[in-house]
Amino acid sequence: MSKRVLTTESGAPVADNQNSATAGVGGPILLQDQHLLEKLARFNRERIPERVVHARGSGAYGYFEVTDDVTGFTRADFLSSVGKRTDTFIRFSTVADSLGGSDAVRDPRGFALKFYTDEGNYDLVGNNTPVFFIKDPIKFPDFIHSQKRDPFTGKQEPNNVWDFWAHSPEATHQVTWLMGDRGIPASYRHMNGYGSHTYQWTNAQGEAFFVKYHFKTNQGVRSLSADQASELVGKDGNSHQTDLLQAIERGVNPSWTLHVQIMPAAEAADYRFNPFDVTKVWPHSDYPLQRVGRLVLDRNPDNVFAEVEQAAFSPNNFVPGIGPSPDKMLQGRLFAYADAQRYRVGINHTQLPVNAPRNATVDNYGRDGHMATRYGSRDDKNYEPNSHAGPAQTDAPLAAPLAVTGWTGAQGAAEHVKDDDFFQAGELYRLMSDDEKSRLIANIAGGLSQVTLEDVIEKNLAHFHAADTEYGKRVEEAVRALREN
């Protein structure tokens, strides 16, 4: 077998990869050592800008298989027949910490799934919780700033975390989720995934439905207590990455069953609360779960940087039969996610193998930019319309149009009869067992008792009292006890 030859980036053979070129033995290094300069310059540029949120992540390849007929609700081709399989890539992540953080921390988990469909890539970007902290994207930068490292102290500050929540009563539901038993998943395999937002499905007859996605783990939900998580972080900060990697390498392929809740579009306007409010769930008694298929992960990436860190997801990557809803947080993310990838990875990030469509042909008038690899022939034009048989529009919208009325301007969502920031948080609390409630109270009190701003403590306590009288009383007593010690 012939020995492979080490080369420079330009393909020239490298004579010595152990010693730099110098001016005599022991002399200074020469600027003309192209191989040395190229290696150091590439090393300096090996990392792209870290994600502002969801920086720390793990990924895997797999497939989605349809198990139930949903063609009455959507004309999406990858959901068109029972038994149909579509290749997928998923990225799990923590939200608040940096790339160097630990896996076993109390934080929501990203659940971002890319379907390589025959009609283009479909990205479903969600979390392991069915709700979120805020309902309007204009608050998102402020929310994340409050949860990230303080610009002066350089660390996460309880005052900042709870101060924002104190002034954002709509966060009470998600705070109850986060501080409860599911706030620290035992692994990525042992947590559910949710689309969180409301999306639109459109069938072949043009009928529109609003849907919510629920990926139920087939491994069973398992979580860690605060003490268990602290111990695990000390042993292996990469615990969730290790678990996912080793499970798939052993052939123990994790899987999830996808269910959806389906609301006929005509019912949205008069529903008792705003169905597009991401701080709320739809009760299953109103819209039961309907099974769609199963997601299976069966292959690890070969290169974490190329396939996990450069993986780019955006909720505006839809396919025919699926579209957005008036969910304001979703509307904001339709821009923000794609723009983040253009900043981080570049305008041509969609040409990278992990992001490029696998089962559909890309044919448009986008050209050039950093790292462009897709070029047309000499006769292809970069404008449209043209006289050269270039690609043309289909005149077939991906989803049904949404009717809009009213005046433009900054305004809240339309009010529904039962819109309320606290009721569902109380419902979640009342569903918990006594032991679950005790752990929830301890987790909240542990953080809130560290706050030094009295009005922030009082505002947060008022939120828990509004959710449930017992809930508020127990949090208040627990905070007081910790502060007196």
Q: Which residues are catalytic?
A: 54, 127
Which among 258, 5, 228 has a CA at the least distance from the CA of 103?
Answer: 228
Amino acid at residue number 221: V
Asked if 332 contacts 91 with a C-beta cutoff of 8 angstroms, the reply is: no
Using alpha carbons only, give the angle 126, 437, 256 rounded to the nearest 5 degrees. 30
Cα–Cα nearest to 162, from 182, 181, 143, 149:
143
Instruction: State how far the Cα of 175 lies from the Cα of 167, in Å rounded to an integer.
Output: 13
2, burial (CB in 10 Å: exposed 0-12, middle 13-18, buried 19+): exposed
- The residue behind tokens 């402020």 is 142
Backbone angles phi, psi at 270, to 5 degrees: -105, 10
408's CB contacts (< 8 A; 6+ apart) are: none
* Segments in 214-369 forming alpha helices (H): 226-235, 239-249, 304, 328-344
Q: Give which of 193, 147, 195 is closest to 168, Cα–Cα.
A: 147
Give the list of residues 6+ apart from residue 309 with CB closer than 8 angstroms, or none: 48, 57
Q: Which residue type sits at 455?
A: D
Cα 92 from Cα 268, distance rounded (Å)? 31
Separation of alpha carbons 378 and 365, rounded Å: 13
Angle at 21 between CA 18 and CA 23, to 5 degrees: 140
Q: For 237, list phi and psi in degrees, rounded to 5.
A: -65, -20
The single residue listed with the structure tokens 């999406």 is 76
Is residue 9 a contact partner of residue 41, using CB atoms and an 8 Å limit?
no
What is the Cα–Cα distance from 225 to 49, expressed in whole angstroms? 33
Within a 10 A sphere around the Cβ of 224, how many other Cβ atoms?
23
User: Rounded to whole angstroms, how far apart are CA atoms 110 and 58?
Assistant: 10
Residue 343 neighbours by CB under 8 Å, 6+ apart: 49
d(CA 33, CA 281): 62
